[in-house]
Amino acid sequence: MKVTESPSYSMSEVSNVMDQARSFIASASDRTEDTVEKADTEIVGLALEILLNDTADRITIVTNDIPLGEAAESLLPQYGFDNEQITWLTGGELAGELAEDFVSEFD
């Protein structure tokens, strides 16, 4: 997990993917673009920034927001990253993965 500042709007790729994410999410959820939460677009922007800056070679976005997850999976590969580098999990899927790796200290 990485905790970071807001995405760097000065990077044109980051600004572009955030605009694309806003459009994608609005279309997928049948809303107007001005009602899409900025935090949703920032998640996609931060994911791209992390990949572009080689801070990580793969990212996992955990959200139950289906349009947001689909936006990340659809848009980030357009910037030169393959599907193996981008993973979207719902909270339930993450919990399941964590449970698979759980080893009780009493076992």
Q: Residue 84: what pLDDT?
A: 92
Q: End-to-end CA distance of the chain: give it in Å, rounded.
A: 27
Supply the pLDDT for residue 9.
Answer: 82
Tell me the pLDDT of the chain (107 aa) as tens digits.
556 678 888 899 999 999 999 999 999 999 999 999 999 999 999 999 999 998 899 999 999 999 999 999 999 999 999 989 999 999 888 888 888 777 667 65
* pLDDT for 53: 93
Q: How confident is the model at residue 95, as a pLDDT?
A: 84
pTM of the prediction?
A: 0.84
The C-alpha atoms of residue 34 and residue 90 are separated, in whole angstroms, by 25
